[in-house]
Amino acid sequence: MKVFVTGATGYIGGSVAKVLLEAGHVVYGLVRDPNKVEPLKQIGIEPVLGTLEDTEVLTRYAQLSDAVIHTADSDHRTAIETFIAALRGSGKPFLHTSGSSVVGDDARGDSKSENIYNEETPFVPMDIRADRVAINNLVRKAGIDDWVRSVVIVPSMIYGDALGLPTESDQLPQIIRKSKEIGAGVHVGKGVNRWSNVHIRDLARLYLLALEKAPSSSYFFAENGEESFEDIAKSVSEALGFEGRTVSWPVDDAIAELGDWARFAIASNSRVRAVHARNLLGWNPSEEPMFSWIEKMN
Q: What local confidence, expressed as pLDDT, does residue 297 receive?
A: 80
The pLDDT score that the predictor gives to residue 248 is 98
- Percentages helix, strand, coil for the chain (3-state, rounded to 5) are 45, 20, 35
Would you say 82 and 58 are in contact if contact means Cβ atoms under 8 Å apart?
yes
Q: How far apart are CA 283 and CA 201, in angstroms?
A: 12
Helix ranges (H only) for the chain are: 11-22, 37-42, 55-64, 77-87, 130-145, 171-182, 200-213, 229-239, 251-258, 261-265, 275-281, 290-295
CA 295 to chain centre: 22
- Return d(Cα 135, Cα 83) in angstroms, integer: 13
- pTM value is 0.97
Residues of the chain with pLDDT under 70: 298
Give CA–CA dist 226/198, Å, rounded: 9
CA 154 to CA 104: how far, in whole Å? 12
The reported pLDDT for the residue numbered 298 is: 60
